Amino acid sequence: MQHLDEGTIHAWLDGELPPAEMAAAEAHVGTCDECRAAVAEARGFVAGASRILLALDAVPGGVLPASTPSSIAKTRAPRRFTLSRTWMAAAAVLVLSTVTVIAIRPKRESVVSTVAVSDELKEERADARSAASAGASAPVVAKAPAPSEKAANAPAPVRAKAPSAQAADAMVAQAQAPAPASPRARLEDTAASQRARLNGVVITGAGTISPAEKLGVAIASADAPKDAPPNAEPIRVRGLTSMSSVKRPVITLSNGVVATLATRATSAENGEPVEISLYQVDEVYVAFIDRLKPDTTRHTITEPLVSAIEDQSDKRDAKMNIVEWTDSKGRMRTLRGRVSLDLLSQLKAALDRATP
Amino acid sequence: MHDVDRLFRAYNEMLVRYLTRRLGDRDWAEEVAQETFVRALRQETMTNERAWLFTVANNLVRDEARKDSRRRRHLTMLFEEEKERVVEPEETTIERAQDAAMARAAVDGLAERDRLALLMKEEGLDYSEIASALGMSVGSIGTTLSRARRRLVEQYERLQQEQQRREGNAAS
């Protein structure tokens, strides 16, 4: 059989080939390295294009260009002026904090308070060090260190019951860090390693867009493992270059097995938003499909990230296991990968605890 | 005569998303979608509703939509109901706005036929529906989509690299 052309490969990935052609294409790809590489590349293009098009959805109204057909433009209904709950809450907080500051602020105290914050954090660090040296082993959960944006503006004291020395160092470093130059820099400035322990599940990672935050975990642990493995190389998906800068959380399962987040993307399944995360478990990729809306009907997953787990040629002999469940909010979740059902169940439990 | 309420509820969301991605303006997209459903009211038969709606929406964008104020009022009411039901999207951050601008530039750089085929595929239309809406042969859709996806991603990557270079220059 001749090599598959690009159009046929895309038709195959889209499930649009007739059954006979599909079988022939599958058989050919199974024996042809060149076509297998072309299929992998095409999957990247499919995923990348979907990701790029999703970015178009953050589009406001009322940006109609001057070349708009006139009759359409004339019939436009007046735009409603509404305030979202987020903005109303932000406005309320701003007004309250302004009033409070004006009412209670003593004159010329701002510099002193900044120093006080740093000193307080240093004290906490010293406390943490002494606690660690005393062999404190009970896992304690502290609040997340304030993101750099807060830190740059003389952060509120971060109250931790007994943060680790590392976490305290990170807090002090953040409190003393100069303001980043740009919003992007601020987002990427959270360099300190963050660790969390929730019900025996350890999640580590350092955040740019903070997957740890997305997982809804608290940060810091007194006895997080020191031998957390280095982050796995992320699966490269064209058009997702920014994903490579995302630090990945690690979930520790039983017997020292770890699941490392390799990459994550938002996609759509029959028009409904789904978040797809690939975890590396013992060098095998496991897909976690999290449907973001409750009561969403399951459809065939066409997201190429999920198909990527099929491309692990050296793991093809292992059985593909699937665990599917509905979380407490009615969202259907799926885990699939060529690992044991026991590992999948552990991962399920960990994910449920981390994102209840 | 078609049940426009049913058509609206089944296809409005995907049609508005398709048009928003195509036009870059949600208001305009909603207006074109409204007009599309108005046309559906007049249509006696449709062999494939989804392909028909996308074809008409494409034609409306190219041409000018006609007014039909009475039916438009009814549809406006339905739109308002829909707006109440739909959860407001997250606030747009600077990074997301940058991503959206790059995505828009990359999409606009595609040939029109490639762009429309890709946008319709993303809304779940199959090859035969896309071919019907664009007046193409089914056999050519795979090639069209492969070209569109490759060019979109390559163009987006190029824009990302330019952006990173600009940021690097600004930092130094």
DSSP B22-78: HHS-HHHHHHHHHHHHHHHHH-S--SSHHHHHHHHHHHHHHS-PPP-HHHHHHHHHH
Task: Look at residue A304 in the predicted model and tell me its pLDDT.
Answer: 55
- Residue B52's pLDDT band, with cuts at 50, 70 and 90, is very high
Q: Give the rounded percent of residues in chain A with a pLDDT score beyond 70.
A: 37
Task: Look at residue B146 in the predicted model and tell me its pLDDT.
Answer: 96
Interchain contact, B91 vs A239, CB within 8 Å: no
For every residue of A25-39, DSSP letters joined together read HHHHHHH-HHHHHHH
Give yes or no: residues B8 and B74 share one domain.
yes
Q: Which domain holds residue B125?
A: 93-172
Give yes or no: residues B50 and B106 share one domain.
no
Which residues partner with A324 through β-bridges?
A: A334
Contact B2, B46 (CB under 8 A): yes
Interchain contact, A75 vs B167, CB within 8 Å: no
B72 contacts in chain A (CB < 8 Å): 75
Q: Which residue, among B150, B160, B161, B165, would best test binding to A if mutated, counting the most A CBs under 10 Å from its CB?
A: B150
B35 contacts in chain A (CB < 8 Å): 72
Residue in chain A closest to B21 (alpha carbons) equals: A56
CATH of the domain at B40: 1.10.1740
Mean pLDDT of chain A: 58
Assess whether pLDDT exceeds 70 at residue B70. Answer: no
Give yes or no: residues B132 and B153 share one domain.
yes
Give yes or no: residues B6 and B67 share one domain.
yes
- pLDDT under 70: residue ranges of chain A: 1, 58-88, 97-249, 263-271, 294-317, 355-356
Assess whether pLDDT exceeds 90 at residue B54. Answer: yes
Residue in chain B closest to A73 (alpha carbons) equals: B28
B77 contacts in chain A (CB < 8 Å): none
A7 contacts in chain B (CB < 8 Å): 140, 142-146
Interchain contact, B21 vs A53, CB within 8 Å: yes
Of residues B28, B140, B160, nearest to A72 (C-beta): B28
Task: Look at residue A122 in the predicted model and tell me its pLDDT.
Answer: 44
- Residue B83's pLDDT band, with cuts at 50, 70 and 90, is low
Task: Look at residue A324 in the predicted model and tell me its pLDDT.
Answer: 83
Task: Dump pLDDT digits (tens) for A289-298.
Answer: 887 776 655 5
Give yes or no: residues B145 and B102 share one domain.
yes
Closest Cα of chain A to B42: distance in Å? 19
Residue in chain B closest to A293 (alpha carbons) equals: B87
Residue in chain A closest to B66 (alpha carbons) equals: A71
At residue A109, φ and ψ (nearest 5 deg) are -120, 0
Assess whether pLDDT exceeds 70 at residue B85. Answer: no
Assess whether pLDDT exceeds 50 at residue B171. Answer: yes
Of residues A46, A60, A241, nearest to B149 (C-beta): A46
Cα A284 to Cα A265: distance, rounded to the nearest angstrom: 18
**Cα A127 from chain centroid?**
32
Give yes or no: residues B81 and B107 share one domain.
no
Give yes or no: residues B62 and B120 share one domain.
no
Give yes or no: residues B79 and B100 share one domain.
no
Amino acid (one-letter) located at A307: S
Task: Look at residue A299 in the predicted model and tell me its pLDDT.
Answer: 53
Angle between helices B94-108 and A33-55 (to 10 degrees): 120
pTM listed for this prediction: 0.43
Angle between helices B26-42 and B69-85 (to 10 degrees): 130
Q: Give the rounded percent of residues in chain B with a pLDDT score beyond 70.
A: 80
CB pairs under 8 A between A and B: 160
3-state secondary structure of A196: strand
Give yes or no: residues B74 and B97 share one domain.
no
Residue in chain A closest to B33 (alpha carbons) equals: A72
CATH of the domain at B172: 1.10.10.10
Task: Dump pLDDT digits (tens) for B35-46.
Answer: 899 888 888 788
Residue in chain B closest to A270 (alpha carbons) equals: B124
Interchain contact, A49 vs B103, CB within 8 Å: no
Give yes or no: residues B27 and B85 share one domain.
yes
Interchain contact, B31 vs A76, CB within 8 Å: yes
Return the ∠ at Cα B18 (arms to A40 and A67), rounded to 5°.
120
Looking at B89, B118, B133, which one is the last position of a domain? Answer: B89
Assess whether pLDDT exceeds 80 at residue B71. Answer: no
Looking at B65, B89, B113, which one is the last position of a domain? Answer: B89
Give yes or no: residues B81 and B7 share one domain.
yes
Task: Dump pLDDT digits (tens) for B96-155.
Answer: 777 888 898 999 999 999 999 999 999 999 999 999 999 999 999 999 999 999 999 999
Of residues A57, A60, A241, nearest to B160 (C-beta): A241
Cα A190 to Cα A146: distance, rounded to the nearest angstrom: 9
- Residue range B153-160: average pLDDT? 92
Task: Look at residue A103 in the predicted model and tell me its pLDDT.
Answer: 59
Of residues A14, A59, A64, nearest to B100 (C-beta): A59
Interchain contact, A11 vs B167, CB within 8 Å: no
Looking at B89, B123, B146, which one is the last position of a domain? Answer: B89
For every residue of A246-275, DSSP letters joined together read S---EEE-GGG-EEEEEEEEEEEETTEEEE
Nearest to A25 by CA among A43, A42, A8, A40: A8
Question: Strands across the sheet with A201-205, in order?
Answer: A194-198, A201-205, A250-252, A258-269, A272-281, A284-291, A332-337, A321-326
Q: Give the rounded percent of residues in chain A with a pLDDT score beyond 90.
A: 9
Cα A337 to Cα A347: distance, rounded to the nearest angstrom: 11
Instruction: Specify the higher pLDDT residue, B60 or B79.
Output: B60
How many domains are contained in chain B? 2
Assess whether pLDDT exceeds 80 at residue B56. Answer: yes
Give yes or no: residues B69 and B98 share one domain.
no
Return the ∠ at Cα A121 (arms to A120 and A127), rounded to 5°.
90
Assembly ipTM: 0.75
